Amino acid sequence: MKISRVQLIQKLVRKRYKSKRPTAKQISEVIHAYKLNRYTADGKKRTREVISKHMAKALYIRRKIMMSMKKRATKVPYEGYTLPPSSEKGGQFVDFKRIIERKPVKVVKRRKKLE
């Protein structure tokens, strides 16, 4: 799986802080925690090999966290589902025609008090 340094940082930040839009401080903390800096403290550019080595470590840690997360229980479809009594032979059913033709219920209007 090929992943860029920026994508890895985004995923690690989202995992740690669980926010859609992390702050610059949070991103910086993740970069320093996993040593994903492009430059050293004295200003020299780090080599691609060193950065990719630390990226591999961060990916390994991220995968390890994902594997240790609790698996969700899968639900069996229609578990505990029973048919309604109207589906039984000779059972009572809803007569929609009678419901449509019944007398409409009067709606009480609320009035505002004028003060």
pLDDT tens digit sequence for 45-99 = 999 899 889 888 888 877 766 665 556 666 677 777 787 776 777 766 777 888 8
Confirm whether 50 is domain-assigned: yes
Confirm whether 62 is domain-assigned: yes
Q: Which domain covers residue 10, as residue numbers? A: 5-68
Confirm whether 85 is domain-assigned: no
Phi-psi region of 110 (alpha: psi -120 to 50; beta: other; left: phi over 0): beta
Structural domain total, the chain: 1
Confirm whether 98 is domain-assigned: no
Q: H or E stretch including 92?
A: none
24 contacts 74 by C-beta, under 8 angstroms: no
Buried b (16+ CB within 10 A) or exposed e, 4-32: ebeebbeebbeeeeeeeebeeeebeebbe
Q: Is the pTM of this model over 0.85?
A: no
Confirm whether 108 is domain-assigned: no
Q: Which two tokens stand for residue 25?
A: 């401080």
Confirm whether 73 is domain-assigned: no
